[in-house]
Chain A
């Protein structure tokens, strides 16, 4: 069954939300990491509700509302999200309360909002949407799992439009901790990559409409831990199986870095097509593939200023994180 992305919305360090067209300019690095350029949430969320919401929830709810509006939908047939680290602000808040107050007299709000499915639950609450509502949390393939679940549901009966999103937030504290470990890939020098955050939402549908942005041509996940030969051999095999038509792509959007073996492997496989390193614009975070997908749809739609070359028609998205898993997504203009 053919699937289509019929709407997309992102809140990201690139400041993608309220502008008609976006410009590929690297965001401000002053903090040492990228933060989302947040819109005026009062346009999409009730002021009373906003006060209690963390950035995680605000980005997710606002992104979803905008995405549904763009698709002209009141309610999706399912809400599926992915997040690597979940609601960090509320989690850290409750941990701190627990430490500082010696486990007594704790305010429950942060705890209530700390579960990874808070965003998908809040979206359902706001929309009054009683349909399927699930959240995946598997490090750098959290969004990929969500997308795969949506794809599988759309192959079944009775589903038409599914809201799928990826969300991760960064806080000064979480950045301070994570950046001291190899949980996050960081690069300095000629092609610096720093931590980032964002939320990107999509309507995935089995119906093409006048709003369709692109066709979804599949997702594949590679588990590098399973490699029984060298990385390049096993990744190569995986790539050839997933993309037998690799030379047809006219843009590769990758989360890998020029110092990675896979970067050059991909470049070779796709016939040295243009390569866009998307983490230059959103930073490194678990669900950054959702940003890459949004960027691909914007490029296909010709809504990006300063993008190199002509509008691409067939885009291959590759991502990886600190773990062994890589993902490939294919989208085609239609």
Chain B
């Protein structure tokens, strides 16, 4: 049934905080029900509150602090990014069943596009804030350091920041750490908070939709921003055997390429995306026909969905696998998007379920691609997830069931 996988990496835990739920089981429930997390802005302080719907995680920072189980004294200078990340990492650790001793030697690879920007933008040049605490939490690397300090993770830690594909590249770096014997266990994922900086940024680019986004629909008119955190526990075969861990599935293939076309726009022929998908398939030792579901990047912008659709046609021809954009439910969580969608892809695979999207009426004329609109039980062996970002950054991950034969 499955092709030979070249060098798969075991996945033993997943954790997520998203606009559609505070953990993997509520998120999965929302995903199969097509229950959206996009709505009116509740927590972000912005003049655009009534204008743009967003996918907000439904908690204030105080509420996230308690959900993360962090003592208030230690929580004083934590950003929204760190709070969301800690919740997701804790869930992933619990599912993997890592003990405190095992956790101590783990590596942590995080990803973010703006990190502590939500705090920076509140404090910077604001006469009401005299504290310079935000200078400490502004760097992208702050979240990884804080997660490690709070949870007692003492291994190598780093952060990828490649805009909206960051989370996928974090998993790729983690996989190389395992393949090269540098780490046996890596907690990898990504996080991004909603903030005025990115909301205004995407508004200045005129690609925010004032309605709910409609990925891959002919009437699509832009994206809705989102936020959240997603983390996975990746392990070597040796680690899985030594502690008798249960393997959920495997990271079988990955690739990062560059579109080399424009700083923020995708090329008309989707070259970068085409190369990312093709090379990821090659790295997994799979044929396009073996992919059972694609979690597309699918932001809902004119440019992305056309370019990605063309790239998908180039890879899969007439036999495009069932696909959907879960951003129709979560919004676009930027540096966290690929990590959220990695967790969703694992959920789709392990539950043998095609995830539906909402907001679809008519296909894009040029590609004629029709996404999954109702949850469907089906046998899945391999799931592909796309994530693309500014700077022409294109990443593809492939997740496979454990029963794929090892070379």
Contacts and interface: CB of A to CB of B under 8 A. Distances in A.
Contacts of B200: 94, 98, 103, 106, 111
A44 to B, nearest CB: 18
A117 B158 CA distance: 15
Nearest to A151: B180
A115 B112 CA distance: 10
- For chain A, give the interface size range: 35 or more
Given A178-B135, A223-B156, A130 B205 contact: no
A225 to B, nearest CB: 7
Interface stretch (B24-32, B63-71, B171-179): B171-179
Interface in A95-117: 95-96, 98-99, 102-104, 106-108, 111-117
Contacts of A145: 158, 173
Contacts of B259: 130
A115 B390 contact: yes
B124 A152 contact: no
A244 interface: no
Given A108-B204, A138-B140, A139-B145, A181 B161 contact: no
Contacts of A135: 160-162
B275 interface: yes
B201 A137 contact: no
Interface stretch (B261-269, B369-377, B378-386): B261-269
Interface in A207-252: 221, 223, 225-226
Contacts of B393: 117, 121, 133-134
A105 to B, nearest CB: 8
Task: Give the secondary structure class of B's interface.
Answer: mixed
A107 B203 CA distance: 10
A119 to B, nearest CB: 9
Contacts of A104: 47
Contacts, number: 186
B46 interface: yes
B391 interface: yes
A137 B180 contact: no
Nearest to B275: A130
A129 B203 contact: no
B162 A149 contact: no
Given A98-B197, A117-B389, A177-B132, A137 B159 contact: yes
B22 interface: no
Contacts of B204: 106-108, 111
B287 interface: no
Interface in A276-334: 286, 323
B390 A112 contact: yes
A124 B391 contact: yes
A136 B391 contact: no
A256 interface: no
Interface string B112-142: 0101000011001100000010011011111
B257 interface: yes
Contacts of A108: 201, 204-205
A96 B120 CA distance: 12
Contacts of B261: 125
Contacts of B120: 95
Interface string A67-87: 000000000000100001110
A183 B135 contact: yes
Interface stretch (B147-155, B309-317, B358-366): B147-155
A128 interface: yes
Nearest to B395: A134
A117 B257 contact: no
B256 A132 contact: yes
Given A122-B263, A130-B275, A134-B169, A141 B124 contact: no
Contacts of A86: 140, 161
A43 interface: no
B271 interface: yes
A23 interface: no
A94 B201 contact: yes
22 contacts: A86-B161, A112-B264, A114-B201, A116-B163, A117-B162, A117-B391, A118-B263, A120-B162, A120-B391, A124-B392, A130-B257, A134-B162, A134-B172, A135-B160, A138-B141, A139-B141, A149-B173, A177-B132, A178-B135, A225-B145, A226-B104, A286-B139
Interface of A: 79, 84-86, 94-96, 98-99, 102-104, 106-108, 111-118, 120-122, 124-125, 127-139, 141-142, 145, 148-149, 152-153, 155-156, 177-178, 180-181, 183, 221, 223, 225-226, 286, 323
